[in-house]
Amino acid sequence: MKEIEIIDLTEEQSTALEDMLDEYDYSFIKFRLDGSVEIGICDNDQLIAGLSAVMTAFRILYVSTVFVKEEYRRKGYGSLLMREMEKRAKVLGANMIRLDTFDWQGKEFYEALGYQQVGHYTNEEDGFSEYFYLKRI
């Protein structure tokens, strides 16, 4: 009988592992919605801001990216993107939005838009904090 060993996974094994977890998780997940929101703002055909979000388990939309070029910040473009994303999230069937941000990013921005901080941690050694937010829609 061969001994148990730790191995480096191949791409195929990694995919199989994700499939096994998905199969297990789906036995607990009541809602399985697909879809995403990927929107941007252009100024004279130049992308100046954008947002990317994807439906996850249950009815939750996860926002992975929000970015506005520095010279366009504090002009309402980020808020415009977030409001549009929230509208589209409802159309997709989401009832909650979740996101995370670092201390140098948009903590106050998200709070001003009604997102509630539900957790955070600080990595003193590397000098940063990360914050986790939810908003029910």
Element counts in the chain: helices (H) and strands (E): 3, 6
Write down the residue that tokens 């990216």 correspond to.
65
Q: What does the mean pLDDT of the chain come to? A: 95
* Residue 69, token pair as written in the block: 């070029």
Class (C level, CATH) for 29-136: alpha beta
Q: What are the CA-CA distances from residue 123 to residues 31, 32, 87, 98, 106 (Å)?
A: 34, 34, 35, 21, 18
Per-residue pLDDT tens digits for 13-28: 999 999 999 889 888 8
- In this structure, are residues 48 and 41 in contact, taking their beta carbons and an 8 Å threshold? yes
Whether pTM exceeds 0.75: yes
What span, in angstroms and rounded, lies between the C-alpha atoms of 119 and 101?
A: 11
